[in-house]
């Protein structure tokens, strides 16, 4: 028995890549998607002064187009499992498609477990996509890029999943990542071994790794919504056993401490950088 994996299963957060936003020259534009398996589209120019950009775990597959006129490229990026460097070129314009956490687009010629923590050339893993790539990178309009992407790829987007996976994703989101395997077994009626096998087959990750990512993303969402918040309060809010555990996790996954992160987003006026179209 199988189902189609889409975010109708109660997603409660928007996956964020904060270091992309802070590397943008002036504005980082975002347009929500009408397709249930796509979180949003984004577009930005990398600032000439941008230093190393980090990618943080978000549970998402991204397709990232470098629209540089002389050397346009496309990359398919699986979620990272810890913070790591992302290759963005100063002065280049990028257009991105971020899928909902846990969704692996069906048009990719890859198994879910192949993509986690890895990147691939767009042309290598999407057969017959050269014309679409050329059209997307050549048009200057953000809305037109989205239109072209949707026309070429959304008819082949939804991949069948195991029967248990949508319920596991829903439960992890509802608990903001603070959930144990015994709870997932009780909620779904499946054994731990079956949940582990089916979830990894569908998403490329274990339920534990996915929960860890969603808890980190929940921390970022909370910091952006509520501004200044103590590490102890945030640790308690997200169900960590103690503050030191939360601090270690945050630094591994975001590459800095919560306090330094709050200072940075305040100094850079983070919210004013993002333009919702």
8 occurs within a structural domain: no
Instruction: Note the pTM of the prediction, 2 decimals.
Output: 0.93
Q: Which band of pLDDT confidence, cut at 50, 70 and 90, is reported for residue 229?
A: confident
Q: Which band of pLDDT confidence, cut at 50, 70 and 90, is reported for residue 6?
A: low
220 is in which domain, residue-wise?
161-271
For 83-111, what is each residue's pLDDT tens digit?
A: 999 999 999 999 999 999 999 999 999 99
Q: Hunting for tokens 């992309």 — which residue is that? A: 20
Q: Residue 1: pLDDT above 80?
A: no
CB of 5 closer than 8 Å to CB of 173: no
**How many residues in the chain?**
277
3 occurs within a structural domain: no
> For residue 12, what pLDDT is reported?
60
For 182-223, what is each residue's pLDDT tens digit?
A: 999 999 999 999 999 999 999 999 999 999 999 999 999 999
Domain boundary among 156, 174, 197: 156
On whether both 62 and 166 belong to a single domain, the answer is no
Question: DSSP assignment, residue 150?
Answer: H
Could you tell me which of 244, 223, 224, 225 has the C-alpha nearest to residue 235?
244
On whether both 146 and 251 belong to a single domain, the answer is no
> For residue 199, what pLDDT is reported?
97
Residue 127 CB contacts under 8 Å (≥ 6 apart), including other chains: 109
On whether both 130 and 198 belong to a single domain, the answer is no
| 204 vs 210: CA distance, rounded Å | 9
CATH number for the domain including 262? 1.10.10.60
On whether both 176 and 119 belong to a single domain, the answer is no
For 28-82, what is each residue's pLDDT tens digit?
A: 999 999 999 999 999 999 999 888 899 999 999 999 999 999 999 999 999 999 9
77 burial type by CB count under 10 A (0-12 exposed, 13-18 middle, 19+ buried): buried
Phi-psi region of 94 (alpha: psi -120 to 50; beta: other; left: phi over 0): beta
Q: Residue 117: pLDDT above 80?
A: yes
On whether both 83 and 205 belong to a single domain, the answer is no
């Amino acid at each position: 028995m199988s189902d189609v994996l889409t975010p109708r299963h109660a997603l409660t957060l928007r996956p964020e890549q904060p270091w992309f936003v802070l590397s943008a020259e002036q504005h980082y534009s975002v347009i929500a998607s009408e397709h249930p398996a796509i979180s949003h589209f984004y577009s930005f120019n990398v600032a000439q002064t941008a230093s190393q950009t980090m990618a943080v775990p978000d549970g998402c597959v991204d397709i990232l187009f470098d629209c540089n006129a002389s050397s346009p490229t496309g990359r398919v990026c699986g979620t990272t499992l810890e913070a790591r460097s992302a290759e963005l070129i100063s002065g280049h314009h990028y257009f991105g498609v971020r899928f909902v956490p846990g969704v692996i687009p069906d048009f990719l010629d890859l198994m879910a477990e192949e993509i986690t923590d890895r990147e691939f050339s767009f042309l290598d893993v999407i057969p017959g996509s050269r014309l679409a790539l050329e059209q997307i990178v050549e048009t200057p309009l953000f809305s037109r890029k989205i239109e072209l992407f949707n026309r070429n790829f959304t008819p082949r987007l939804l991949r069948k999943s195991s029967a248990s996976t949508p319920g596991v994703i829903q439960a992890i989101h509802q608990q903001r990542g603070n959930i144990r395997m015994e709870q997932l077994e009780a909620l779904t009626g499946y054994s731990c071994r079956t949940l582990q096998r089916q979830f990894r087959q569908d998403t490329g990750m274990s339920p534990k790794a996915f929960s860890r990512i969603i808890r980190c993303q929940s921390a970022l969402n909370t910091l952006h919504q509520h501004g200044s918040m103590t590490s102890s309060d945030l640790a308690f809010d997200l169900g960590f056993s103690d503050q030191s555990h939360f601090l270690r996790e945050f630094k591994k996954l975001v590459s800095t401490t919560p306090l330094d992160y709050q200072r940075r987003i305040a100094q850079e006026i983070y919210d004013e950088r993002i333009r919702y179209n």
